[in-house]
Amino acid sequence: MVILLAWLAALAAPLTRAADRPPAPDAAASAPVILVFGDSLSAGYGVPPGHGWVDLLARKIAREGYDFSVVNASVSGETTEGGLARLPRALAMHRPAILVLELGANDGLRGLPVAQARHNLAQMITLSQAHGARVLLIGIRMPPNYGERYTSAFHAMYGQLAQRQSVALVPFLMAAVALKPGLIQADGLHPNERAQPLLLATVWPLLQPLLGPMAHIQAHHGAHLTAPRRVPAAGEAR
């Protein structure tokens, strides 16, 4: 549980925000987009470039023949309020078919009202659905020292949102990692490179059904493996 608390504290690292310019066009630009919109866990903080769970997701999708492009718009330290502020531009820029929403831990860490986080997440889901995106909500849990009332309300928030707004839910991204020291970086805070496949394994069963019918599968085998496009961030530190 100490590791879990330390990990949550790491999510309060200085925030890095996306630049205002769109990413350069590439060969995958015409494919439907999966937009991953999260914090340091999805940004791959402290993990070698190309080895975060979102990078592994992009390779898995290509390897299995799904015709999707993965864009990682995650930033370290993000709150639901910050995410709500920048989401409209991200939706307009990338027009995602699927939004993977992984936010809320920093709200909990700072003891912000659960009602506020719930409202912000609900607004982000509504905005995404209004843009035609299917949403996968990824939940986070608070350690017990935040108090039974707060931790219970925080945990229940994700399930309530998923049910009320008819979206898929991953209850806890770090379920297979949080209490295992061998899967945490030397700083004792972040999941290490070995942990990234487990994060993907936690997400994949809920994401795969959102990829759609066989019409979305490429007709040929041996699809080219592509890395996720990253939204450029100014001054991002590892």
Over residues 70-129, the pLDDT tens digits come to 999 999 999 999 999 999 999 999 999 999 999 998 899 899 999 999 999 999 999 999
Burial class (CB in 10 A: 0-12, 13-18, 19+), 184: buried
Say how many C-beta atoms besides its own lie within 10 A of residue 197's C-beta: 14
Q: Is 40 a catalytic residue?
A: yes
The helix-helix angle for 196-207 and 53-63 (nearest 10°) equals 50
Domain count, the chain: 1
44-60 pLDDT, tens digit per residue, is 999 999 999 999 999 99
pTM of the model: 0.83
Please list, residue by residue across 98-115, b when 16 or more beta carbons sit within 10 angstroms of its beta carbon and e when fewer do.
bbbbbbbbbbbbeebebe
Residue 221 domain-assigned? Answer: yes
Residue 238 domain-assigned? Answer: no
- Whole-number pLDDT of residue 215: 33
Q: Dihedral, CA atoms, 194, 196, 198, 204, nearest 10 degrees?
A: -160
Residue 23 domain-assigned? Answer: no
Query: Confidence band (pLDDT; 50, 70, 90) for 189?
Result: low
Residue 26 domain-assigned? Answer: no
For 102, the domain range is: 2-14+31-227
pLDDT of 2 > 80? The answer is: no
Residue 20 domain-assigned? Answer: no
Residue 136 domain-assigned? Answer: yes
pLDDT of 235 > 50? The answer is: no
Active-site entry in 26, 30, 166, 187: 187
202-230 pLDDT, tens digit per residue, is 999 999 999 986 334 333 333 334 456 65
Active-site entry in 30, 39, 190, 224: 190
Which of these ranges, 9-18, 23-32, 130-139, 176-185, has the smallest mean pLDDT? 9-18
Alpha-helical (H) ranges within 165-223 are 196-207
Residue 237 domain-assigned? Answer: no
CATH number of the domain to which 61 belongs: 3.40.50.1110
Active-site entry in 20, 30, 40, 74: 40
Q: Please give the Cα distance from 138 to 43 (Å, whole number).
A: 14
Residue 86 domain-assigned? Answer: yes
Q: Dihedral, CA atoms, 47, 51, 52, 54, nearest 10 degrees?
A: 160
To the nearest whole percent, how much of the chain has pLDDT over 70? 76
Q: Is 187 a catalytic residue?
A: yes
